[in-house]
Amino acid sequence: MVQNIFGTDGIRGKTNTYPIDAETILKIALSCGHVTGRNIRSPKVLIGKDTRRSGYMIENALTAGFISMGWEVNLLGPLPTPAVSFLTKSLRADLGIMISASHNPFEDNGIKFFDKDGLKIDTKTEEKISKEIKSKPQLVAPKDLGRASRINDVLGRYTEFAKTTIPTSLSLSGMKIVADCANGAAYKILPQILRELGAEIVSIAVTPDGFNINEECGSTKPEKAQKAVLQNCADIGICLDGDADRVLFIDEQGKLANGDQVIGLLARAWMEKNLLNKSTVVATVMSNLALELYLEKIGVRLIRTQVGDKNVSKCMSREGLNLGGEQSGHLIMSDYSNAGDGLITSLQVLSVLVESQKKASEVFNLFNPFPQSLINIDADKCNDFQKNEQIKNRLDDIQSSLKGEGRILVRRSGTENVIRVMVEHREQNMLKETIDTCLSILKKEED
């Protein structure tokens, strides 16, 4: 069986080690070009990237591979992942690629792939690419080589599109917003669009140097933004990650609101306007049980999927739904975009805030999340919970004992060599007791 080089969200790893080394990336481009370019005359690929220094290496390796396979390559430069999704469809490209490791530190990088409709490529295509990497490439004749060019003003195109997702009458005049751009792909576009809509902006992490992406900033490290909200008496804070496909919010009191709160907020707002398809939203198994109970209370059904925005998007498409997301802040609003989009999510939340004429703390205070803890265990130090029936049964027994008051979830990460253990419970003391029990079962005994 051929090993699938893809993880939960594309291909990811430490720069200059497999699979994020120049040789492997060239092979990935050759394989992808052959698999996805079959029966397409003059195929075209768009390539965007975030602000990591390693993006230059990956961009050039991909470009060489696709040109060798006869593809036209359009280079977009630094811009958000959802912009690549949008532009792939808008510019009628056959494939879109984003070079990013999302919220990971600068040492890591990755490659995300979009089909002609701006959707993440499916698992079957990923498996075909992984298999093809081992084969000798079928290069085109010299006269059929592709070429590369750079497209200008892609940020302007995406900015104007993003503004069409909110009413033209919406103004942010009089609002002060802290914008934390994680020194990443949206360091220009987020402050720019908010200023164009009339807001006063306090910008954080907007000076990328190739190495400081996600460094003590952004959605994974929001503490500086929380302090900035309080110090500047801001109305709200917005924290993106490195490629701007996820976003967290901070209310005027400095309290953090994650993807679960935003799903609840938009679900209620859209229900009131009869905009929520089938009165149903999609979230992953990681979303808090309190969200599910809140949605049930307001007449909204929740469908859960496995972790990954690709799984959320697939379920939304299958069920004909228009709102879904992850607790981490990936939100997909299929009426506007096929990808998780931190900028459009921000505009939708700001729209609700303006229309309600309420403070952010009032708008986000919809439910109290159950205490939840996420722990990572080195996979090499963890028992095989997937194949060991005894361990599986013990974990099942723990879940049954919670009697609907909590949940446990154990899964292998698709991006790192760790086992992720999520435990939540209505009561804090039971949370700790459940965590300790799970860890005692999962961790290997030390010699």
| One domain, residues 429 and 335 | no
Establish if 53 belongs to a structural domain: yes
In a domain, 5, yes or no: no
Domain presence at residue 23: yes
Query: Which domain CATH number covers 335?
Result: 3.40.120.10
CB 7 within 8 A of CB 311: no
pLDDT of residue 1: 45
Q: Is 7 helix (H, G, I), strand (E, B) or coil?
A: strand
Q: Residue 230 falls within a domain, yes or no?
A: yes
Structural domain count of the chain: 4
Q: How far is CA 319 from the centre of its chain?
A: 21
Residues 146 and 162 both lie in one domain:
no
* Long-range CB pairs of 264-268, under 8 A, 24+ apart, other chains included: 264/291, 264/294, 264/295, 264/366, 264/367, 265/349, 265/352, 265/363, 265/364, 265/366, 266/323, 266/331, 266/333, 266/348, 266/349, 266/352, 267/295, 267/298, 267/300, 267/323, 268/298, 268/300, 268/366
236 with 291, same domain?
A: no
- Co-location of 146 and 57 in the same domain: yes
Residue 96 sits in the same domain as residue 59 = yes
135 and 17 in a common domain: yes
Whether 102 sits among the annotated catalytic residues: the reply is: yes
Instruction: Kindly state whether residues 52 and 148 are assigned to the same domain.
Output: yes
Residue 47 and residue 146 share a domain: yes
112, part of any domain: yes
Q: What is the pLDDT of residue 7?
A: 87
Q: Which of 96, 117, 152 is the last residue of a domain?
A: 152
**For residue 447, what pLDDT is reported?**
53
Enumerate residue ranges in the chain where pLDDT < 70. 1-2, 414-415, 446-447
Question: Does residue 400 sit in the same domain as residue 424?
Answer: yes
pLDDT for 432:
87
Residue 313 lies inside a defined structural domain of this protein: yes
Per-residue model confidence (pLDDT) at position 27: 97
Going by the DSSP 8-state scheme, the letter that residue 338 receives in this structure is S
Asked, for residue 418, whether it belongs to a domain, the answer is yes
Half-sphere exposure of 415 (CA within 13 A, CB side): 19
Domain containing residue 321 = 257-339
Contacts of residue 76, Cβ cutoff 8 Å, sequence gap at least 6: 46, 47, 48, 49, 83, 84, 87, 150, 151, 154
Query: How long, in residues, is the chain?
Result: 447
3-state helix, strand, coil in the chain (%, to 5): 35, 20, 40
Provide the 3-class DSSP secondary structure of residue 63: helix
Candidates 74, 81, 85; CA nearest to 44 is 74
Give the residue ranges of DSSP H helices in 79-153.
81-90, 123-132
Instruction: Assess if residue 351 is contained within a domain.
Output: no
Q: Are residues 117 and 25 in the same domain?
A: yes
Say if residue 88 is in the same domain as residue 196: no
Residue recorded with tokens 């996420």: 374
Domain boundary among 317, 339, 361: 339
Out of 232, 255, 278, a domain closes at 255
Quick one: 402 and 282 in the same domain?
A: no
Which of these is catalytic: 102, 130, 328, 346?
Answer: 102
Within 8 A by CB and 6+ apart from 384, the residues are: 391
CATH number at residue 412: 3.30.310.50
